[in-house]
């Protein structure tokens, strides 16, 4: 079986044909142009998809909360204005005359990691991605847990600091307002304005910069607080952590060390794993929506 897959992200839509044997062909990217609104995103998606031939079905991984049965967007934030309510499945099935399945992007990443990546062979694990926000997904008994409304796994919106910093969701004190990758870079720039991105931050740390190491430690402590709580709630086999920041060994090791300091002895068996599939995880996960 050949599934045409798309992963709709904040800056680009990744596309490729994935086979049921886990091979990927014709990988490409087109701009999302999310700030121009949901209608433009769908236009760009269709434009990208119509360049492909020779596939049996379409799988879509997308930002936003997804109604899995209807294949529609329950809620999307201001990164894609007007995307909420978009009937993605209906639009694409009418246009391409192929079966279409739609799922949230972090859920797809978790499914992809379970099929071909860090979660292969595991039945119970949590996936978290650290970027502009913090995305999450829950795999229990080998199956994706979606919750009653289909939106389970919003780990970034655990309220860990009641009344604290404003969050993009409209609440205050959420996990992602303290432990997103964006926050780490902002913290570094505040400590030293010459540091403007994660690459510079970790370069400074590798050179022995104590100030930047302190920034990483402070951020890791916040990240660890959320992770330890999740371990105690779910008692998973593993935490699979993704996002560009977590590709850095220094960050991954710091988070695991500080998390283990907060995790009860009887829960210490949890493994801390790096996501393995990089920017193609969502495509592989989208393919699993059709692979039984």
Report yes or no: 90 and 71 within 8 Å, Cβ to Cβ.
yes
Distance CA 255, CA 292 (A): 35
- Per DSSP, helices labelled H in the chain are 38-49, 88-96, 105-116, 176-179, 181-191, 198-206, 210-234, 249-260, 281-288
The pLDDT-based confidence of 8 (bands split at 50, 70, 90) is very high
pLDDT bin (cut points 50, 70, 90) of residue 170 is: confident
Q: Is residue 136 part of a domain?
A: yes
Phi, psi of 93 (to 5 degrees): -65, -40
Secondary structure letter of residue 20 according to DSSP: T
The domain tally of the chain equals: 2
Residues 172 and 163 sit within 8 Å (Cβ to Cβ): yes
Summarised one tens digit per residue, pLDDT across range 210-229 is 999 999 999 999 999 999 99
Q: Which residue has the tokens 């829950």?
A: 138
Report yes or no: 208 and 93 within 8 Å, Cβ to Cβ. no
Question: Are residues 263 and 161 part of one domain?
Answer: yes
pTM: 0.89
Asked if residue 52 and residue 80 are part of one domain, the reply reads: yes
Q: Is residue 232 part of a domain?
A: yes
What's the rounded Cα separation, in Å, for the pair 215 and 35? 31
What pLDDT is recorded for position 244? 84
Q: Give yes or no for residue 168 having a pLDDT over 90.
A: no
pLDDT digits (tens, 9 = 90+) for 224-280: 999 999 999 999 999 999 988 898 999 999 999 999 999 999 999 999 999 999 889
Same domain for 105 and 132? no
The label of the residue with tokens 């996960």 reads 285
pLDDT at 77 over 90: no
- pLDDT category of residue 153 using cuts at 50, 70 and 90: very high
Q: How buried is 188 (Cβ within 10 angstroms: 0-12 exposed, 13-18 middle, 19+ buried)? A: buried
d(CA 61, CA 71): 11
> Rounded mean pLDDT of the chain?
94
Average pLDDT, integer, range 120-133: 93
Supply the pLDDT for residue 75. Answer: 87
User: Tell me: the pLDDT tens digits for 47-64?
Assistant: 999 999 999 999 999 988
**DSSP three-state, residue 176:** helix
Is it the case that residue 78 has pLDDT exceeding 80?
no
Q: What is the pLDDT of residues 179-201, one digit of tens each?
A: 999 999 999 999 999 999 989 99
- DSSP letter (8 states) at residue 172: B
Same domain, 39 and 95: yes
Please check whether residues 159 and 254 belong to one and the same domain: yes
115 assigned to some structural domain: no
Tell me what pLDDT residue 79 has.
79
Domain check: are 140 and 186 in the same one?
yes
Within 10 Å of residue 102's Cβ, how many Cβ atoms? Answer: 29
Region of 150 on the Ramachandran plot (φ > 0 left; ψ -120 to 50 alpha; else beta) = left
Closest among 102, 110, 116 to 144, alpha carbons compared:
110
Tell me the C-alpha distance between 114 and 108, whole Å: 10
Residue 70 has pLDDT above 80, yes or no: yes
In this structure, what CATH number is given to the domain that contains residue 170? 3.30.420.40
pLDDT at 156 exceeding the cut of 90: yes
For 19-36, write each residue's pLDDT tens digit: 999 999 999 999 999 999
Which residues are CB-contacts of 290 (< 8 A; sequence separation ≥ 6)? Answer: 1, 3, 56, 57, 59, 99, 101
Q: Is residue 114 situated within a structural domain?
A: no
Tell me, yes or no, whether 54 and 194 share the same domain.
no
Structural domain span for residue 70: 2-109+279-288
**Alpha-carbon distance values, 154 to 91, 92, 145, 256 (Å):** 27, 27, 12, 21
């Amino acid at each position: 079986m050949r599934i045409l897959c798309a992963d709709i992200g904040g800056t680009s839509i990744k596309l490729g044909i994935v086979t049921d044997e886990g091979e990927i062909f014709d990988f490409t990217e087109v701009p999302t142009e999310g700030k121009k609104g949901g209608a433009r995103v769908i236009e760009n998606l269709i434009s990208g998809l119509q360049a492909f031939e020779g596939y049996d079905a379409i799988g879509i991984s997308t930002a936003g909360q997804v109604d899995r049965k209807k294949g529609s967007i329950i809620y999307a934030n201001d990164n894609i204005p007007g995307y909420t309510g978009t009937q993605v499945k209906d639009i694409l099935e009418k246009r391409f005359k192929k079966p279409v399945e739609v799922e949230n992007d972090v859920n797809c990443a978790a499914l992809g990691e379970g099929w071909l990546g860090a979660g292969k062979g595991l039945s119970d694990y949590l996936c978290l991605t650290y970027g502009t926000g913090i995305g999450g997904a829950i795999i229990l008994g080998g199956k994706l847990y979606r919750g009653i409304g289909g939106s389970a796994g919003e780990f970034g919106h655990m309220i860990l600091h009641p009344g604290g910093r404003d969050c993009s969701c409209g609440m205050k004190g959420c996990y992602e307002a303290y432990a997103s990758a964006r926050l780490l870079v902002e913290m570094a720039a505040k400590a030293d304005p010459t540091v403007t991105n994660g690459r510079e931050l970790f370069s400074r740390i590798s050179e022995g910069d104590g100030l930047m190491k302190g920034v990483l430690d402070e951020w890791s402590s916040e990240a660890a607080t959320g992770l330890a709580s999740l371990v105690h709630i779910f008692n998973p086999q593993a935490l699979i952590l993704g996002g560009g920041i977590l590709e850095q060994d220094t960050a991954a090791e710091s988070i695991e060390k500080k998390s283990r300091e907060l995790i009860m002895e009887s829960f210490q068996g949890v493994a801390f794993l790096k996501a393995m599939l990089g920017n193609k995880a969502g495509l592989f996960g989208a393919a699993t929506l059709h692979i039984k």
